[in-house]
Amino acid sequence: MIIEIKDLKKAYAGRTVVNIDQLSINAGETIGLVGNNGAGKTTLFRLLLDFIRANKGTIFSKTENVSNSEHWKDYTASDMEEGFLYS
C-alpha cells in the first residue's frame, strides 16, 4: 500500500470536515477527489502532507506514519497553488 488512512477525523469549531474510517491507495491506482466547497478536500491534502494534525486517526505513507516521521518526505512531492498554506 502506498497510502493508508485509518479512523481519520478533523474538526474545526466542532464541525467535522474530514471523517474517513479506512482508505487504502495501492501502487498504480489513481483516485480523484470531488466535492462542494467546504467538503474537506483541501483539509485532507493538508493532513496527508502533515501541514495540519488530525483530531484523531493516522495516515501512513508506505507504512510510515506521516505525523511521526519525516522520511516519507524524501519520496513525496506536491505542488501547491499560491495561498494554499496561508489563509
Residue 76 inside a domain? The answer is no
Residue 85 inside a domain? The answer is no
Residue 77 inside a domain? The answer is no
Residue 78 inside a domain? The answer is no
What are the Cα distances from residue 22, in Å, to 6, 18, 47, 81?
5, 12, 15, 28
> pLDDT tens across 6-31, in order?
999 999 999 999 999 999 999 999 99
What is the tally of structural domains in the chain? 1
The model's pTM is 0.83
DSSP state of 47: H
| Domain region containing 24 | 3-70
Which domain CATH number covers 54?
A: 3.40.50.300
Residue 51 inside a domain? The answer is yes
H or E, element range at 22: strand 15-25
> pLDDT tens across 38-87, in order?
889 989 999 998 899 999 999 999 999 999 988 888 888 776 665 555 55
